Structure formats: structure tokens, C-alpha cells
Amino acid sequence: MSGTGFLDNWTPVDPKTGDSGEGAPAPSAPPKPSEPATKNVWGEAVDDENTNWINEQRELDEADQKKAEEKKEIPKQTIPVPKKEVKLESPGSKGWNPIVNEIKAARAGKGAIKSYVLMGIAGPPKSGKTGITLDSLTDEEIANGAEVWHIDFDLGGETTKAAHHQGKDNIVVLNPWVLNSNPSRVPYDFPATYQKTLDFLLAAVDQADAQLIHYAEHGEMPKPYLKTIVFDGADHWLNICETTMKVDDLKLGPDGIAVAGKDATTKIGRFNWNIRKNRYNSALTVLQELCRRGIHCYIITHMKASYDGQGNEILGADNPHWEKSTEGWLQQVAYVEVDEERDDRGELTGIVNSYAVVTQNRTSLKSSGKVHLFRRDKDGGVWHGWPGLRDGSIDHEDNVMYGEESNE
């Protein structure tokens, strides 16, 4: 073949040695890709203007590579990371799991719970029983959002708050009574009142679990938080449980009046009284669970008279008006007594002193002596309260009397 001009000078080359058949040296290596070519494949000179696009592309590639390297060198700590918000599900919400949160609360309780208080307080009317429980928060606790939830059966909480704690949002008075919606000779719906009372207590359990979990996550209680539950009126609660048993469980009558007579009582039978006891103990069970979660719980009642076989009242033999097994549930028991001073002729002077005496305390072996709660006289008197209730120590020394001496 001839006349092509392109293959006339072609010489075969050994692919293994690179030598030509005539001993000619192997062709030189091609130029590096990174260097722009000065001649084309035909050996013709390449114009510099035709290579500008190659240089421009190379500069762009180098700039992109430099930016990528600079991006890799940015320290991680300089890149802002959005803070994850800790959200605590509230009781009743979709994400609230009672069992899971109860376990979390049990783990968190070690640091948050300082004392266990489940105290029964029994005494005559107007002796300061409600007052000492509503006065059981420290100034620091009030500033941090601590609350007292007062389940008020006999209006004692409303009147005490109005008289001595006006403007204090930390005392939450809860009315457990439910009025009959239909015309009735009995104003209260006893079964509904029973259920409403339990709902208050069960809501307190959810609140206690939630705030213990919050404490574990943040090192402090939320605002507000529950510190104290006052169950004020165990005698009313006993009557509610008995009436509900007669009306709702045994169907002995339509209302509290119909089942109050002797005929209805004789139909109950010896074993059916356990219904009343089980209903009554349901509140104590929840109060015990609240105590387990570090909530200070107080159950308050009046005293009832004792009578002999002839129906005569036995002076000085009054007993607390709660179900007889109540004290077995409690961690502490205190009786309140009122001393009305008399002159040499036996006439009242107008000076009244109230004292509390701890008769049982499972959390301490120390005798608490008499705690002077208040002195009432013509000049207005002095309120001492019970400082030991504020930290759960019970036997606080500030206003305790031993024997005949007082540290007033």
C-alpha cells in the first residue's frame, strides 16, 4: 500500500521489549495529561489561544478541590448543634405510660425523697388540725413552687385559707362533694362523691410520678409541684363509704335518707360490712402510694364520744372518728388536745392553748413531747404551728414542751 502518507514510515515494535524490528529506540512517552499539549497528533504547532479552555478548566478543578479540603478541616465543635428539648409527657397524654413512668419515678426517688409522712391527726373542732398542715411549707419551698392539695370535706380548708393564707396560690383546696343533678331530698350524690374523691387522689399519684421524673432529668422539681396532700375529714369519708355501700352495692334504698334507718342496717349482715371497709381502705391505699413517692400525707378526723352499757357518755374516753383499722396504715399518729384555762373559782378566763402529742411514729424512736400549736386570748393570741411537719422530722424542737417546761 502506498500513497497514503500516514503509514509510509510505520515500523513494527515488539510489545514486550519496546524495540523495533530494526533496533530503533521505542517511541517517547506521551505528554502528561496535566500539561497542555503544544503539538497535535499530526505534529503541527498548537495555538496558545486554543489551550485557554484547558487552563481555565484546570483552575476551576483546583478551586473546587481547595474548597472541599477547607470544608473537611472545619472542627466539629464549631458547627452549632441544636439542643434537644427534653419534653415530659403529662398524665393523661398519649405518651404517658403509667407503668413505665412509675419505674422511672422509683429510680428517681432516691435523690428527691427526704422523708416519709403518712400521719393521722385526730382532735376536737377548732383545735388547729387543718392549720398545722396548711402551714407545713417552708418559705423556700413556697418560692420554688411547692403546693398543698387540700381535699376539704368540711370547709375547714376554705375558711383557714381565707383567714390566714390569703393570696397564697400554693394552697389548692379541692371540693370532693358532688351535688345531685336531679331533684332530691338529699343534696349530695354519694356514689359520685366517692368516685370524685378517688379521682383526686389518683391524679395526685400521676403528678407525683411526673415530678420525680422531672427531678431526675433536671435536678429540681417543676413549678408548681406537689409536696403535701391533706385528706381532711376521715369521718365524712367513712359515712360516704357506708352510704355508697347501702345505696350502690346492696341496693337498700335510693338515697342517704332511705338507707339511714335501723331496718336497712339490719339487712346488711355481718360479712357485708367488709364492703364499707374495702371502700374506705381504697383511699388509704392511694395515700400510702403517695407517701411511697415522697408526698407528705395527712388524714384528719374529729373525735367521737364513747358510751357505757347504759348509753352514758364516758368522759375522757373519746376516740378518733375513723375506721378502727386506720392507725395500722399510718406511719405517724398525733392527737390534738385543747386546754381551756380556768381561774380559782373555776370560771373560764378566755385563754385557750392547743397541743399535739405524737402517740405513734414509725420513722423515729424519739419521744416528741407536747407540741404547742397556738395560744388564744383576749389580745389575739399567738400561732406557733408545728415546724417539724415542714421537713418531715415531726419531733422538731422549736415549740416542743417536755414536762411542765416550755421553750416559748
Q: What is the pLDDT of residues 145-160, one digit of tens each?
A: 999 999 999 988 889 9
| Residue 81: per-residue pLDDT | 44
Residue 47 confidence (pLDDT) above 60: no
| Residue 86: per-residue pLDDT | 39
Calculate mean pLDDT across residues 301-310: 88
Maximal CA-CA distance, the chain: 158
The whole-angstrom separation of Cα 249 and Cα 131 is 36
- Residue 293 domain-assigned (yes or no): yes
Calculate mean pLDDT across residues 245-266: 84
Q: How confident is the model at residue 78 (pLDDT cuts 50, 70, 90)?
A: very low
Domain around 228: 98-335
| Residue 190: per-residue pLDDT | 94
The whole-angstrom separation of Cα 236 and Cα 193 is 11
Residue count of the chain: 408
- Residue 167 domain-assigned (yes or no): yes
The whole-angstrom separation of Cα 98 and Cα 287 is 17
What residue has cell string 363509704?
241
Cross-strand bridge partners of residue 304: 319
- Phi first, then psi: what are they for 353, rounded to 5°? -120, 140
- Residue 114 domain-assigned (yes or no): yes
Mean model confidence pLDDT for the chain: 81
Pair type for strands 382-383 and 400-401: unpaired
The crossing angle, in degrees rounded to 10, of helices 273-292 and 190-218 is 20
Residue 321 confidence (pLDDT) above 50: yes
- Residue 3 domain-assigned (yes or no): no
- Residue 64 domain-assigned (yes or no): no
- Encode pLDDT of 206-224 as tens digits: 999 999 999 988 989 999 9
- Residue 16 domain-assigned (yes or no): no
Contacts of 296 (CB under 8 A, 6+ apart): 115, 117, 136, 227, 228, 229, 389, 392
The whole-angstrom separation of Cα 235 and Cα 320 is 9
- Residue 385 domain-assigned (yes or no): no
Domain of 273, CATH number, reads: 3.40.50
Cell triple for 245: 355501700
The whole-angstrom separation of Cα 220 and Cα 213 is 10
Coil, helix or strand at residue 159: helix
Residue 7 confidence (pLDDT) above 70: no
Residue 408 confidence (pLDDT) above 50: no
Calculate mean pLDDT across residues 307-318: 82
The angle subtended at Cα 358 by Cα 240 and Cα 141, nearest 5°, is 80
Strands (E), 313-369: 313-320, 332-342, 348-361
Calculate mean pLDDT across residues 88-105: 68
Q: How many domains does the chain have?
A: 1
- Phi first, then psi: what are they for 13, rounded to 5°? -125, 135
Residue 13 confidence (pLDDT) above 70: no
Calculate mean pLDDT across residues 178-189: 86
Cell triple for 299: 388524714
Q: How confident is the model at residue 52 (pLDDT cuts 50, 70, 90)?
A: low
User: For the chain, what is the radius of gyration of the CA atoms?
Assistant: 43
- Residue 308 domain-assigned (yes or no): yes
CB atoms within 10 A of CB 182: 5
